[in-house]
Amino acid sequence: MDSMAKILLAEDEPALGQIVKESLETKGFQVLLCKDGQEALDTYYQAKPQLLVLDVMMPKKDGFTLAKEIRMQDATIPIIFLTAKSQTQDVVEGFTLGGNDYLKKPFSMEELIVRIKNLLNHRKDQVPSEMSIGDYIFGFKQQTLTYKKEEPIKLTHREAHLLFHLHNNKNQVLDRSIILKKLWGDDDFFNARSMDVFITKLRKKLKRDERIQIVNVRGFGYKLIC
Amino acid sequence: MDSMAKILLAEDEPALGQIVKESLETKGFQVLLCKDGQEALDTYYQAKPQLLVLDVMMPKKDGFTLAKEIRMQDATIPIIFLTAKSQTQDVVEGFTLGGNDYLKKPFSMEELIVRIKNLLNHRKDQVPSEMSIGDYIFGFKQQTLTYKKEEPIKLTHREAHLLFHLHNNKNQVLDRSIILKKLWGDDDFFNARSMDVFITKLRKKLKRDERIQIVNVRGFGYKLIC
DNA sequence: AATCAGTGTTAACGAGTGTTAACCGTTTTG
DNA sequence: CAAAACGGTTAACACTCGTTAACACTGATT
C-alpha cells in the first residue's frame, strides 16, 4: 500500500529537495519534486498524489497559500509543512489540525518518514466520512447534509469545514480566532465577517432539526448545540 | 444515577472480558462487552453508552483508531484505554488528554471502578444541561428559561452563566467577588455595577414564579431562593 | 469568446448584547 | 439627622453579530 504511494514534494532549495526525494524513493515512495508553489499546484492537478510535503517559504506561491487552494479540491489529503525555525509558532499551529502536520527544519529523514507513514495509514480512520448531527447525517467528504430520508443538501467547502470544526467541539465554545486560523489561515476583520456569513448559511441548512443550534458567545466564538 | 450508566467494554480476550464485565455489573453498571473494534463501533452507534473502556490491541480495529472515530461523533465521552505494558508510554500519553484515561495491564478492578466513577461524576458536573428552578426549566447549554409549557425565554451568555452560579449555590449567599471573578475575570467597580444590571434582567425573566427570588445581601452578594 | 452557475468576499444596515452613567430609594454610619 | 455607602432600575451608548444583497472570481459550457 505504502509502497505505491505518490508524494508531492515542494522544496525550492535544489540540494535539500534532491536528498529528500532520493531518501523517500529508497523507502518505496514515488516522489514528484517541484521547485515552487505554482509548479506544485500544476503537478497536484495532474498527478493527484496521496500526500503533500510542502516547504512553507517558496517562490511564486508559499506553502500555506498552496495548501488552502488544494484543500478546496480535497478536504482530507494529508499535508506536511516544512517550516524554518523563524516561522512563528502560532501561524503554523493554525494549520496543524485536520490531516495536517509540520516539521521544523532541520529535520531528520527518519522523522519525516514516520510522519508520512502515520498519515497514510491512519488517514482513513481519522476522518469517518459520515457523522450524525441530530437527525442529520453530515457527510464531510461528500459535503452533504442529509435530513432523515430527504434529498441531501449540498455544502460548499467552507461550509463543510466550518461545520466539521463546530461538530468536533460540539457543546463547547469554539473560539473565533481558532476557526479563522484553521479555515482562513488568518484572523482579520474581513475574514471574521465572512465567517459570520457562513454561520448564517449553516444555520439555515440546519434548521429542520430545531434541537440543533449554533449559539454565539459574544466576543468569543460559537457553540454547536445538539 | 451511576447505577444506570451504560459502559461499552471492548476486550478481545474472552476470559478477561468476562471477568471485568461481571465485576462491573455487580457494581450496578450495565456492560456491553465487544470482542473486537468493529463490533465495538457498531455497538456504540446502536447503544450510545456513557463511557468506553477499550483495549488498545484488538483484532479488526485497534483501540486508538476506534477512539478517534468515536471522538468524531462525541468529543467529550470519557474513554479509558487498557494498555499492555509493552505499549510505549508516549503513544499512550497522546491520548490521555480530554476525557481520557488509561490503565496498564494488569490492573486491579478497584482501580478501574474508581476511574470509571470519577469520569462519570466529573462529566455530570461539567454539563448538567437542564435544571429546574421553581416552575421554570433552565437550559444552561441552550441558554433558555422555560416556564411550564410556554415559549422558552432566551438568555444571553452572561445571564445564563450568572443564573448557573446562583443555582449552584441556591439558598446560600453567593459572594459578589466570586461571581465577578468567574464571569468577568476581575472584580472592579464597573464590573460590579454591570452585574447588578444582569441581576435586574434575571429577576424580570424569573418573575412568573413568585416563589423564586434573587435576594440581595447587602455588602456580600446575592442569594437565589427557590 | 461569451455566458452562466457556483462559490466566496465585501459592504451596508439593523438587531442584539454588554457596559457605563445617571438618578433614585434604602440602609448604614458618624 | 445628615452624610455616605449600597443597590435597583432605566436609558444611552458602543460594540458585536445577523442578515441580505451586491460584487468578484473561477471553471464549465455553449
Nucleotide nearest to B219 (CA to C1'): D6
Helices (H), chain B: 14-26, 37-47, 63-73, 89-93, 109-126, 157-168, 176-179, 189-205
pLDDT > 90 in chain B, percent: 34
Please give the DSSP secondary-structure letter assigned to residue A99: T
Q: Where are the domains of chain A?
A: 2-126, 130-225
Q: Say which of A126, A171, A225 has its CB closest to residue B68.
A: A126
Beta strand B30-34 pairing with B6-10? parallel
Instruction: Work out the average pLDDT over A117-129.
Output: 60
Distance set, CA A105 to CA A32, B156, B159 (Å): 20, 47, 49
pLDDT at B98: 47
Q: Report the C-alpha gap between A214 and A204 in whole angstroms.
A: 10
Q: Say which of B69, B75, B76 has its CB closest to residue A128.
A: B69
Q: Report the C-alpha gap between A17 and A22 in whole angstroms.
A: 9
Per-residue model confidence as pLDDT tens digits over B50-78: 899 988 888 887 787 788 778 766 767 88
pLDDT at A72: 62
Q: Please return the burial class of A119, using the count of CB atoms within 10 Å of its CB with bins 0-12, 13-18 and 19+.
A: buried
pLDDT at B213: 92
Please, what's the b/e burial string for B62-89 (b: 16 or more CB within 10 A of its CB; e: otherwise)? Answer: bbbbbbebbbbbbeebbbbbbbeeebee
Peptide bond into B49 cis (omega under 30): no
pLDDT at A125: 43
**Does B90 have pLDDT greater than 60?**
no
Q: Is the CB of A72 under 7 A from strand C?
A: yes
Per-residue model confidence as pLDDT tens digits over A19-41: 999 999 988 899 999 988 888 88
Q: Is the CB of A159 under 7 A from strand C?
A: yes
Q: Which residues of A touch B (CB under 8 A)?
A: 122, 125-128, 131-132, 167-172, 213, 215, 217-218, 225
pLDDT band per the 50, 70, 90 thresholds, residue B26 = confident
Q: Do A170 and B75 touch (CB under 8 A)?
A: yes
Q: Report the C-alpha gap between A4 and A51 in whole angstroms.
A: 12
pLDDT band per the 50, 70, 90 thresholds, residue A99 = low
Average pLDDT, chain B: 82
CA distance A139 to chain B (A): 12
Pick the CATH number of A130-225 from 3.30.450.80, 3.30.70.890, 1.10.10.10, 3.60.10.10: 1.10.10.10
Tell if the pTM clears 0.85, that is, is over it: no
Class of domain A2-126: alpha beta
pLDDT at A24: 92
**Does A163 have pLDDT greater than 60?**
yes
Instruction: Work out the average pLDDT over A202-211.
Output: 90
Q: Quick one: how far is CA B208 from the chain centroid?
A: 30
Instruction: Work out the average pLDDT over A99-111.
Output: 74
Contact A70, A98 (CB under 8 A): no
**Does B94 have pLDDT greater than 60?**
no
Per-residue model confidence as pLDDT tens digits over A66-83: 877 777 666 668 888 887
Angle, vertex CA A62, rays to CA A81 and CA A86, nearest 5: 65
Q: Say which of A122, A125, A225 has its CB closest to residue B141.
A: A225
CB-proximal positions of chain C, under 7 Å: 6-12, 16-22, 27-28
> A133: which chain B residues are within 8 Å (Cβ-Cβ)?
none
